[in-house]
Structure 1
Amino acid sequence: MDLNLAADIAGRTPFYLYDFAAVRHRVAELRAALPDGVLLHYAIKANPMPALVQRLAPLVDGLDVASHGELLTALGTAVDREQISFAGPGKRDPELAAAIAAGVVVNVESGDELARLRRIETAVGRSARFALRVNPDFQLSGSGMTMGGGATQFGIDAEAVGEVLRGPGRRGLCGLHIFAGSQNLRLDALTTGVSQTFELADRLVREHRLDLAHVNIGGGLGIPYFPRDEALDLAAYGRHLAVEVERWRRRHPDTAVVLELGRYLVGEAGVFVSRVVERKHSRGETFLVVDGGMHHHLAASGNFGQVVRRNYPVSAVTAKPADERETVTVVGPLCTPLDTLGRRVELPRCEVGDLVVVHQSGAYGPTASPVHFLGHPAPVEVLL
C-alpha cells in the first residue's frame, strides 16, 4: 500500500502498519507444509492487537495467552476455550481463577503453581484443566532466545515431573508443553529439537503413564531480520516434522500435536513508519531524526535480546530520485544514544517530512517497548 495514504489513515506518525493478506498467506504456507492433523496455535504475545487476533483466530486452531489482558482478548474470539492456553511464570491468583472460570488450559510452570491451582479451583467451584510446561533436559542450539534446557524460571524440570504429579495429583491434566527456544533459522537445530522434544514427551508419557489430549511442541521458527539471514526452509522442516508426527501417532494415537507460533505468523507482515523531523550533520555523519524511536520499537534499536547491534531492514518514502542515495544514521527523539533505529544505513536522500520505514516489525512492537518513556504519545496501529 502507498505509505503516504497509510499515514493519512493513521492520522499521525509514528505508526505500525500490518498487512493481513501477508498473515493469511503465511498461515496458508504453513498449512501446506505441515502434516495433516497438526494443530496450529497463535501465541498472542507476538502481536496482541485485538483486531489482528480477531481476524487471525478463524485461520488457526487455538490461541496461547500470557496475561489476563490477553486472556480477555482470546475469549472475545470464536476459538474453542479448550484450545486456549495460559502460559507464563508468576501467574497471580486472580489470573488462575479467571483461567479456571473461563475453562481454558493452564500451562502449569511449577509444583507450587499446581498446588495453588488446586486451592483456587475449590474456591471457584470448577475443576481446572491444565498442562505441564516442561523444562527440557536439552538445549536448542541456534535460538535467538533459549527458553529451556538449563536452570530457568520456565516450566518444571523434566526430571521433576514425577514428583510434581505425586503432589497435588493429575486430575485435570490434559497435556504437555515443551518449548525449548524461539527465533531459530537453523534447519538442523530445529529438526534436532523436534526429534528431542518428541523423544522427551514419549518418555514422560510412558514413565508416568499419562493420558493426554495434546502435546504442545512449541515452535521456535525464526524470520530473517538481517541481511545475512536466510529464510527457513519450511518445506524441509515440514517433511521432518511429518516423520516425527507419524512415529508419535503410532505410539499415542489419541494425543494431538500442537505447534505454537507467534513471530513466524505475523513478524514479516508489519512495518513501523516514522517521519523525518530534522536532518543533523555532526563531524562528517548525517543523522535523520525521526518522530518514532526505541520507546515505540525497542527491538529495532537492539535492546530486545540482541547481543550484537544489527540493523533491521530500513527503507524510505521520499520524492527524491532513487539514485540519489546517502549513508545516514536514523535516530529517534529520546535523550539517549540508545535511541537508534538504523546505524549507517544507505537510503535515498530524505528531507524533513519524508517517511522512514522499518520492516519485519509485525511482532514484538509497541507492547514490547517502553511506550511511556519521556511521555511521548504511543504509536498508532493500523491493520489493513
Structure 2
Amino acid sequence: MKKPFVSLEQIQEIKKTYPTPFHIYDEKGIRENARAVNRAFSWNKGFREYFAVKATPTPGILQILKEEGCGADCSSYTELQIAEAVGITGHQIMFSSNVTPAEDFALAAKLGAIINFDDITHIPFFEKIAPIPETVCCRYNPGGVFQVSNEIMDNPGDAKYGMTKEQMKEAFRMLKEKGAKHFGIHSFLASSTSSNVYYPMLSKILFELAVELKNELDIHIAFINLSGGVGIPYHPDEEGCDIMAIGEGVRKVYEEVLSPAGMDDVAIFTEMGRYMLAPYGALVAEAIHEKHIYKEYIGLDACAANLMRPAMYGAYHHITVLGK
C-alpha cells in the first residue's frame, strides 16, 4: 500500500492558502533520499549526483538538493538559468544536450559547466562559440540491445544519443589536441529500471571502455557518469530498488576493472531524476463532480495540464483518496 506523506487535515489547512489543484513535496523525504544516495556511493571520494533538472525544473527543489550536495544535470538554456538562479555553477553543472543551439552552449561555457558532447560534430561547432575547456565529456552509445538476463531493458541502437566507440576515440583525440586534459564518459542505456544490477552492468561497459581509451590515447579519465535509469515503484505492490545494493554493486565492478588499471581516482557521477524526487511529490486535486452513465466518473478540478505524463506516455500514477 502506498502511504501518502501528508494527511487530509494538513491538506485542508494548506488549501486555505493555496487552492487546489497544486503540487506538494515532502522536503524531509527528499533530503533523506539524497543522503541515502550519497551514502551508497560514499566509497567513491569524487561522487556527485547531478539531479536531472528536466524531471522537476523548480528552483525551490533544486535549492534543497544543492544543500544536500547535488549538482544539476541540464539539457537546455532554461535549465541552465534555473541552476544559475540557485547558485549552481561551474563543475556543479553537467550540460548534456543534443541538436544543441549555439546560445545554449554559450551559456553553459559562461557558467563553466562540464560540457558533455553528444556528437563528434558538436566539437567544431562549440569551438566557434568558446574555447575547449580542460575538462570535457563525451556521450557513448554502444548500439545494439541492452538486456539483463533474458529481460530486454532498452534498445540503445535505436536512440539518437551518443557516439560509437570509434567516434569516442576520434572525439577524445581531437579534444586532446585542442587542449583538453581531463576526460569524462557518459552513457544512458535504459530508462526507469527496477533492477539493482542496471548500474553495475552499465558500469562494467563504461569502466572497460575507460581503460581502453586511457591506454590507447594516453589520456586522464577523470569521471564516469552513469546518467539516470534507476526507477521507482509506481504500483503499490511493486518493490523499489535498493540504492545501497546498487552502490555496492558499482563498487565491486570499480575494484575489478578500474583499480587494477591504476584508475583509482576516477569519480562516479549519477544523474537521477525520478528516483530523487518522484516518490516525494504529489498532485493534490479535489473531486467536484460525479457522473453516473455507462461508467462511473469522478470529475476533478485538475486536468492533463497539471499532470501530463499519463496522456503522453500512458503512465500509471497511483491515486489516493485522503481520509478514505
**If the TM-score is normalised by the length of the shorter chain, which range does it land in?**
0.7 to 0.9
**Aligned partner of 2:273 among 253, 262, 281:** 262
Q: 1:182 — aligned with what?
A: 191
Moved over 6 A (4+): 142-145
1:290 alignment counterpart:
300
**Gap regions ≥5 residues in structure 1:** 323-384
Q: Which residue matches 2:23?
A: 16
Instruction: Report the counterpart of residue 314 of structure 1 in structure 2.
Output: 319
Judged with a 3 Å threshold, the aligned counterparts in structure 2 of structure 1 residues 288 and 82 are, in CA distance, closer, same or farther, namely: same
SS in 1 for 2:302: coil
Q: Which moved more, 1:215-224 or 1:167-176?
A: 167-176
3-state DSSP of counterpart to 2:138? strand
- Between stretches 96-105 and 77-86, larger displacement belongs to 77-86
Alignment partner of 1:222 is 2:231: yes
The alpha-carbon deviation at position 129 of structure 1 amounts to 4.6
Higher percent of residues as helix: 2
8 Å Cα contact 2:141-2:156 kept in structure 1? yes
CA contact (8 A) 1:103 1:129 kept: no
The residue matched to 1:9 in structure 2 has which SS? coil
Amino acid at match of 1:278: H
- State the alpha-carbon separation in 2 of the partners of residues 273 and 102 from structure 1: 36
TM-score (norm 2): 0.85
2:139 aligned partner, one-letter code:
R
Question: Equivalent residues in 2 for 1:128-207 (5 A)?
Answer: 129-137=135-143, 139-141=145-147, 146=154, 149-167=156-174, 169-172=177-180, 174-207=183-216
User: Structure 1 CA distance, aligned partners of 2:179 and 2:156?
Assistant: 27
Matched, 1:273 2:284: yes
1:167, CA displacement in angstroms?
A: 4.7
Give, in angstroms, the shift of residue 17 of structure 1: 0.3
Tell me if the contact between 2:146 and 2:152 (Cα under 8 Å) persists in the aligned partners.
Answer: no
Q: 1:106 to 1:258 in 2, by over 3 A?
A: same
Q: Residue 3 of structure 1 aligns with which residue? A: 11
Structure number with larger C-alpha Rg: 1
Decide whether the 8 Å contact of 1:140 with 1:189 is kept in 2.
Answer: no
- Once the two structures are superposed, residues 195-254 of structure 1 have per-residue CA deviations (whole angstroms, 9 ceiling, x without a partner) of 223223333333333213222122311100123421112232222112123342443133
Give identity over the alignment, percent.
23
Give the aligned residue type for 1:287.
Y
Q: Deviations over 1:269-312 (max 9, x none)?
A: 001111112100112x210011212222122x2522x4xx6x42
> 1:57/1:250 Cα in 2 relative to 1: closer, same or farther (>3 Å)?
farther
Distance 1:302 1:145, change over 3 A: farther
Q: Does 1:33 align with 2:40?
A: yes
Does residue 1:244 correspond to 2:285, yes or no?
A: no
Q: Which amino acid aligns with 2:248?
A: R
Measured after TM superposition, the shift of residue 95 of structure 1 is 0.9
Partner AA of 2:138 in structure 1: L
Counterpart of 1:208?
217
Counterpart contact for 1:144–1:184, Cα < 8 Å: no
Q: Is the 8 A contact 1:136 1:200 kept in 2?
A: no
CA distance in 1, matches of 2:264, 2:41: 18
Counterpart contact for 1:43–1:64, Cα < 8 Å: yes
Would you say the 8 A contact 1:185–1:232 is kept in 2? yes
User: Shift in Å at residue 138 of structure 1?
Assistant: 5.5
Look up the SS of the partner of 2:220 in the other structure: coil
Matched with 2:3 is none
Question: Are the structure 2 counterparts of residues 5 and 250 from structure 1 closer, same or farther at C-alpha, using a change threshold of 3 Å?
Answer: farther
- SS of the residue corresponding to residue 65 of structure 2 reads helix
Following superposition, the deviation at residue 140 of structure 1 comes to 3.6
Per the TM alignment, residue 170 of structure 1 is displaced from its structure 2 partner at its CA by: 5.0
Report SS of the residue matched to 1:288.
strand
Q: Tell me if structure 2 keeps the 8 A contact 1:132–1:177.
A: yes
**TM-score, scaled to structure 1:** 0.73
* Partners of 1:145 and 1:183 within 8 A in 2: no
Instruction: Return 168-177 or 274-283, whichever deviates more.
Output: 168-177
Unaligned runs of 5+ in 2: 1-5
For residues 153 and 14 of structure 2, the distance between their equivalents in structure 1, rounded to whole angstroms, comes to: 33
- Measured in 2, the distance between the counterparts of 1:29 and 1:179 equals 22
**CA deviation profile, 1:299-346 (whole Å, cap 9, x unmatched):** 2x2522x4xx6x42111135xxx4xxxxxxxxxxxxxxxxxxxxxxxx
* 1:360-371 matched pairs, under 5 angstroms: none
Q: Secondary structure at the match of 2:271?
A: strand
Q: Find the aligned partners of 1:104 and 1:52 in 2 and give their Cα distance.
A: 20
Q: Which has the higher strand share?
A: 1
Worse-superposed segment, 200-209 or 60-69: 200-209
Contact 2:291 2:297 (C-alpha < 8 Å) held by counterparts: yes
Report deviation, 1:5. Answer: 1.9
